[in-house]
Amino acid sequence: MTAGSSPQSELRIPPHVSLDRVVWFDFRHDAGLHADPHARLEELRRAGPALFTPHSRALTGPGTWIFTSSAAIRAIFQDPETFASGGVRPFGQLIGDSWPLIPIDIDPPDHARYRRVLNPMFSPARMAQLEPAIARRAAEIAGPLIARGDCEFIADFAQPFPVSIFLELFGLPLERLRDFIGFNEAILKGEGEAQVAAIRGLRDLLREEILRRRKQPSEDLLSELLTARIDGRAFDDDELTGLAVTLFLAGLDTVTSTLGYMFLYLAQAQSAQSLLRDKPELIGGAVEELLRMFNVVMTARRATRDTVIDGVEIRKGDNVALPTSLISRDPAEVESPDEADFMRVDNRHSAFGYGIHRCLGSHLARRELGAALRCWTSTMPPFTKPAQVRPVSTGIGVFSLARLDLTWA
């Protein structure tokens, strides 16, 4: 997730950065990143363990550090006192509001207080109850595509599927599907006025729904947030907004994007696809392995004090980009990291991050991804992708395929 863009005139190399670490990596316009983000990140790994780009990943700050070893990235994730999340995604501020994104932009000690309330709402037991609804939605969205013989997988399935689950969780009418997809796109991919308008639109819509639940509570997650207690009190309006907006932004694009790369892979690797058709018991392993191969998140932190990582001097205020793919594909940790092996044992990837902010929604995400793979390898015909179309990725905080054309006979 990123907000706004930084004026190019700010580009400079701060004096504490040694010149041999500088790469002119432009998060917004890097051609390699657009062609294949995972391969491009591996290229950065080969460029050195600690890189500095004068380009900014987010709204503010003098350039960005990129550490490329899993050990360094893990160390940064594990030290939220030094590498803070507060203020990294100032969406509320962009529209003149005071709510932060909760819990993703909250630092210790408050962060744990919020997670304590949220964790049970996304526990495996709770998410297991959703499984039938998730499978049903996958079938409802994919089913009508069969007769067409082709689809644009992102718009036709990968976007509406997780949004429909979100609507189900939040008790929102399915007719709002297109509104929510529109907000999501404009906030995460847009800039300037369009982005600001979408944040406002999303905030207003969610606030309206919160008000409705105040008058008439129901069984959904929004109602649950209204009755939840944090240190013996209810959440205030700003907290409710920050929570609702975060759950929306964190839980949709990530799933859409991961689905995109998973299905691009399966459309190209016919043998892997038929393996799943013949052996559906491998789907759990396939979800994990494809999550590992295609990490979509490149999150960020800001240094709260001067420190040293890997012998490199970091100054207070410096920004750090954290592409989790560089953990999940680090040859120092994973054997043959660029090969998909659905039977990998103890597959310890970092698609969901690491440290205190490690994904709240992983149990939901895994069930959504599993249901999508199951649906497409059991009820849908074998699919391929037209060879002449090159995939294009967009996004900085979350990489995603701009489109994915699939065809079947």
Partner 1 sequence: MPIITYTQDDGTVRRVDAAAGLTVMEVALQQGVSGIAADCGGALSCATCHVYVAPDWFDRLVPASEDELAMLEFTFDPQPNSRLSCQIEIVPALDGLEVAVPARQF
- Interface ranges with partner 1 (CB under 8 A): 74, 77-78, 112, 115-116, 119-120, 122-125, 345-346, 348, 350, 352-358, 360, 362-363, 366
Instruction: In angstroms, give the least distance from the CB of 149 to ligand HEM.
Output: 28
Q: Closest CB to ligand HEM among 11 and 230?
A: 230
Strand 307-309 vs strand 312-314: parallel, antiparallel, or unpaired? antiparallel
132 binds, among ligand HEM, partner 1, none (CB under 5 to 8 A by kind): none
Q: Which amino acid is at 401?
A: L
What is the token pair recorded at 384? 């391929």
**At 229, is the secondary structure helix, strand, or coil?**
strand
Inter-residue contact 314 to 308 (CB < 8 Å):
yes
78 binds, among ligand HEM, partner 1, none (CB under 5 to 8 A by kind): partner 1
Among the listed ranges 17-25, 29-37, 148-156, 354-362, the one in contact with ligand HEM (CB under 6 A) is 354-362
- Give DSSP secondary structure letters for 273-296: HHHHHH-GGGHHHHHHHHHHHT--
Q: Does 159 bind ligand HEM (CB under 6 A)?
A: no
30-69 footprint of ligand HEM as x/- string (CB under 6 A): ----------------------------------------
Inter-residue contact 64 to 319 (CB < 8 Å):
yes
Q: Closest CB to partner 1 among 198 and 373?
A: 373
Q: Closest CB to ligand HEM among 352 and 376?
A: 352
Strand 319-323 vs strand 64-67: parallel, antiparallel, or unpaired? parallel
- For residues 212 and 222, give the distance between their C-alpha atoms in angstroms, rounded to a whole number: 10
Cβ neighbours, 10 Å, residue 200: 15
104 binds, among partner 1, ligand HEM, none (CB under 5 to 8 A by kind): ligand HEM
What is the token pair recorded at 240? 């409710």
Instruction: In angstroms, give the least distance from the CB of 194 to partner 1.
Output: 34
Cβ neighbours, 10 Å, residue 168: 17
> Which 166-185 residues touch ligand HEM, going by CB under 6 A?
none
Q: Closest CB to ligand HEM among 151 and 250?
A: 250
250 binds, among partner 1, ligand HEM, none (CB under 5 to 8 A by kind): ligand HEM
Give residues with Cβ within 8 angstroms of 4, minimum separation 6. 59, 94, 191, 192, 195
Inter-residue contact 24 to 54 (CB < 8 Å):
yes
- Pick from 329, 357, 374, 385: which binds ligand HEM (CB under 6 A)? 357
Q: What is the DSSP letter of 394?
A: E
Inter-residue contact 73 to 326 (CB < 8 Å):
yes
- For residues 317 and 305, give the distance between their C-alpha atoms in angstroms, rounded to a whole number: 7
- Pick from 138, 245, 351, 404: which binds ligand HEM (CB under 6 A)? 351
255 binds, among partner 1, ligand HEM, none (CB under 5 to 8 A by kind): ligand HEM
CB burial of residue 281 (10 Å; 0-12, 13-18, 19+) = exposed
112 binds, among ligand HEM, partner 1, none (CB under 5 to 8 A by kind): partner 1
Q: Closest CB to partner 1 among 115 and 176?
A: 115
Q: Does 90 bind ligand HEM (CB under 6 A)?
A: no
In 26-134, at which residue ranges do the beta strands (DSSP E only) sit? 50-53, 64-67, 83-84
Helix H or strand E encompassing 168: helix 160-170
- Pick from 41, 188, 266, 360: which binds ligand HEM (CB under 6 A)? 360
Cβ neighbours, 10 Å, residue 134: 24
374 binds, among partner 1, ligand HEM, none (CB under 5 to 8 A by kind): none
Q: Closest CB to ligand HEM among 17 and 111?
A: 111
Instruction: In angstroms, give the least distance from the CB of 345 to partner 1.
Output: 6
**At 53, is the secondary structure helix, strand, or coil?**
strand
Among the listed ranges 37-45, 226-234, 345-353, 399-407, the one in contact with ligand HEM (CB under 6 A) is 345-353
Q: Closest CB to ligand HEM among 17 and 84?
A: 84
